[in-house]
């Protein structure tokens, strides 16, 4: 367990382990987006499209790295939550896939990346577009998206995979 996971209550840790370790292909929603370096985002699992401010949202991304270029640089995933005006309200950037060494990959290697994003406590209620892309931390450059899924909105660097709602606070 990582240090960040140790900070969670036991019930949350159990949920994290179950979500991360349980493959359920019926829940994978297809994406079919390809970035300029050959990496593809083939699908994702988002257990809930509603999350309260101050809580975590969990996301599993299915990557296919079999087409990666040989001059690999370490990559990171940017996960942005955009408001109706297209502004990033909150985000979570992570390594592509934890402990993944790209030097000697098997053919058609498709690792799952498990991501947990903290929704800031002061996030206004509303609907947010969940957009995913890749970037190179060393150069701070985003990788262009070269194959865009027809059924999902996308721009030059990222693809919108879902919409997430942050509900208003309940009054007692």
The pLDDT tens digits for 19-62 are: 555 556 567 889 989 998 888 899 999 999 999 999 999 999 98
Residue 4's pLDDT is 46
Mean pLDDT of 100-127: 76
Beta strand ranges found along 26-87 (DSSP E):
29-35, 40-45, 56-64, 76-82
Largest CA distance in the chain: 58
- Top-ranked range on mean pLDDT: pick from 4-18, 69-83, 90-104: 69-83
| Percent of the chain surpassing pLDDT 70 | 71
Residue with the two structure tokens 């060393």: 138
pTM for the structure as a whole = 0.77
């Amino acid at each position: 367990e990582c240090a960040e996971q140790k900070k969670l209550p036991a019930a949350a840790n159990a949920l994290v382990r179950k979500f991360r370790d349980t493959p359920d292909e019926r829940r994978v929603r297809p994406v079919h987006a390809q970035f300029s370096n050959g990496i593809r985002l083939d699908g994702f699992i988002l257990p809930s499209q509603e999350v309260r401010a101050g809580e975590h949202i969990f996301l599993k991304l299915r990557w296919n790295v079999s087409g990666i270029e040989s001059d690999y640089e370490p990559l990171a995933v940017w996960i942005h939550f955009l408001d109706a005006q297209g502004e990033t309200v909150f985000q979570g950037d992570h390594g592509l896939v934890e402990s993944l060494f790209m030097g000697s990959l098997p053919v058609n290697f498709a690792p799952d990346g498990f991501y947990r994003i903290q929704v800031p406590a002061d996030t206004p209620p509303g609907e947010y577009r969940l957009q995913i892309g890749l970037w190179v931390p060393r150069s701070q450059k985003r990788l262009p998206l070269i194959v865009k899924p027809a059924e999902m909105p996308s721009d030059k660097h990222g693809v919108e995979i879902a919409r997430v709602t942050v509900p208003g606070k309940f009054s007692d």
